[in-house]
Structure 1
Amino acid sequence: MERKTYTKVCKRCGKTFTAKMKQTRFCHSCAGAQCAGRKKAHGEERGKHVKNNMEGLTNASIEARAHGMTYGQWMGQKYKGRVKVYREE
């Protein structure tokens, strides 16, 4: 049984190519570059998120030390305050 093939035009470079799947949008040479571009963009976005999270942890740690507590004690106090607020509502 032969698989059906589709003649497509690449959305990136405009070349005509043969695809094995109906949903394929890029030729073989452009598919790798397209995937790498998406991964790079995702990695940059993820890096920003991790950096922001680390800044938050650092700030919380500095704030805890300023109040004479460890990070865990400080976060516990903040959590207790949140629980009381939720229970009052």
Structure 2
Amino acid sequence: MAFKQGNNFGSKSKRGKAKINKELKDFLEVLTFEALEQIEIDKLTNSEKLKFINYSLPYLLNRLQAVDLNSDTENNLFKPVVINMADWK
């Protein structure tokens, strides 16, 4: 199929962003902050504190990307390091 001048293929949609999704995200954000303000951290057990940290950290930190260690680039920053335990005395 040949290219036809004046077609709209690949152009951005003129449709606006969904309001319901934004409203829902805003509502969940408010609800989450209200719930966090009501938690009494001093009364949590160590196990409960660790679970809280475990569940909340993925939302706070950037996700790690996969790195190909087998690439043959000269500027490879991720070179494997071999440590001989016999050297540690």
TM-score for the superposition, normalised by structure 1:
0.33
- Quick check: which one's helix share is greater? 1
- Quick check: which one's strand share is greater? 1
TM-score for the superposition, normalised by structure 2:
0.33
Higher relative contact order (CA 8 A, sep 6+): 1
